[in-house]
Structure 1
Amino acid sequence: MPHATVNGIRLFYRVSGKEDAPPLLLSNSLASNMHMWDPQMEAFDRHFRVIRYDSRGHGQSQVPDGAYTIDMLTEDAVGLLDHLGIARAHFCGLSKGGMVGQRLATLHPERVDRLVLADTSAYMGPADLWEGRIQIAEGQGMAGLVDSTINRWFTAPFQAKDPGAVAKIRAMILATEVKGFVGCCRAIQAMDQRETIAAIAAPTLIIVGADDSGTTPDMARDIQERIPHSHLTILPEAAHLSNIEQAALFDNAVLEFLEAK
């Protein structure tokens, strides 16, 4: 599978689906990789040319030193589209990926057709929250964060029902390099898009799990109120990774929105 050199780093990506279909760019959460979207691929590949990539600092993409910024992560996405010769695409991002989507649609409106923002927020204060997670990661490695992360990302009933799916995400978290995790934490820590997202003109769908304690339904409502003509869907019995806990409902909501006339 290929790498692209964009914005000064090497990004690992995969293209699948229908070659002549509308392009759909998927962007992963913090402490995961492109395989967090595996539950969506059967459905999405039937309708789109799907581009997945490992965010800077994650998976098989390069892990640069230092703090990253949301603008930097956004330019990575633009660079990948340029590398593939794609002028305009649908975009779907979850958590950190949704933060990138907000910035992409704000700074580069000509590159975004329709926008899906899943389990995300325009602002993720207070700064001390991120300082604490950074200190744990640097002191204990990702093993110091994995249990609390899993409990935020999945409801207890889902953890009991599908331990295999949870184990796959646990492995992604543990495989994330601390340097990449910290770099992206710094990007989220410094982010505040509450005012700027009012400029987003792309048709926008906001999705959130009803039980998401990290990027809550109230945070999703705040985004919906700020982006003109956007729509909000709340998925029942799902926490942060609503695309996994409620994969069928998530897929249906995204496909209905992206294929609306």
Structure 2
Amino acid sequence: MAVDLHHVDEGPRDAPVLVLSGSLGSTLEMWRPQVAPLTERFRVIRLDHRGHGGSPVPPGPYAMADLADDVLALLDRLGLERVAWCGLSLGGMVGMYLASEAPERITNLTLCCTSSNFPDTTVWKERIAAVSSGGTAPLADGIVSRWFTPDWAAAHPDVVAEAAGWVARTPDAGYLACCQALEVWDHRDRLGAITAPTLVIAGSADPSTPVEPHARTIAEGIPDARLEVLPAAHLATIEVAEDATRLIAEHAAR
């Protein structure tokens, strides 16, 4: 059953709608660098996944279909038939699912630092075990160390600390249930069904979803998708916010 997602709805009511959906362990605050420039051109809706931020935490495990159903319920409540979608990591996976299984709802698709499959699920098995035994908070610093390149992180300690706070405050049950969705995630066979114009943004130094094979697999699997690689780690929308925002805006306006 779908849950009522916590969200923020900003920008002109008569502008094209762009939904921003973030990574595992984040909140809608991760999109703060994008809000001002994007709301000049779009009605921007930021959301928290189930189990994250201000959204409900239903019992797990979750599946990607559950997270997508939450989004469809939100769009229905807001009276929105079709939207542009930009998702990073987990948010990108939800976007891929929506674009292939509910294509009539997605006008165009931006997929940032994400994956259509994890051939080696060891990372998720280990993460699930760690959260099950000790909770999410002790893992926060290690997780965030993969979100930014070391030099950028050293120069922006306040941003890194804030990001670690998002992870640490994510409910253990919600984080764990989303990890279970990621452990079994494999959308490779459905990429060819995506017809929405698609932009894939990757970070050249992303250790979590590197260009090879993750971004490349998506870009080659979705018809006519375009791949752009930015000099960043996993949260490219923060580390190189200006470049990422420009690409997102240009593609969403298509």
Question: What TM-score, normalized by structure 1, do the two folds share?
Answer: 0.95
Deviation at 1:25, TM superposition (A): 0.9
**2:116 is matched with which residue: 102, 122, 135?**
122
Matches within 5 A, 1:41-120: 41-120=35-114
Question: Does the alignment pair 1:241 with 2:239?
Answer: no
Question: What TM-score, normalized by structure 2, do the two folds share?
Answer: 0.97
CA contact (8 A) 1:125 1:189 kept: no
Deviation at 1:259, TM superposition (A): 2.1
CA contact (8 A) 2:87 2:112 kept: yes
Output one character per residue of 1:95-151: Cα deviation in whole Å (capped at 9) or x when no partner.
000000000000011100010000000002323321110111122222331122111
Q: In structure 2, what is the Cα distance between the partners aligned to 1:37 and 1:186?
A: 24
**Where do 5+ consecutive residues of structure 2 fail to align?**
none
Deviation at 1:8, TM superposition (A): 3.6
Deviation at 1:75, TM superposition (A): 0.8
Deviation at 1:210, TM superposition (A): 0.7
CA contact (8 A) 2:51 2:57 kept: yes
**Where do 5+ consecutive residues of structure 1 fail to align?**
1-6
Q: In structure 1, what is the Cα distance between the partners aligned to 2:157 and 2:142?
A: 16
Matched residue SS, 1:47: coil
Matched residue SS, 1:46: coil
Matched residue SS, 1:10: coil
CA contact (8 A) 2:61 2:180 kept: yes
Hey, what does 2:215 align to over in structure 1? 220
Matches within 5 A, 1:27-46: 27-46=21-40
Hey, what does 2:226 align to over in structure 1? 231
Q: In structure 1, what is the Cα distance between the partners aligned to 2:253 and 2:7?
A: 24
* Aligned-residue RMSD, C-alpha: 1.0
Q: Which amino acid aligns with 1:148?
A: G
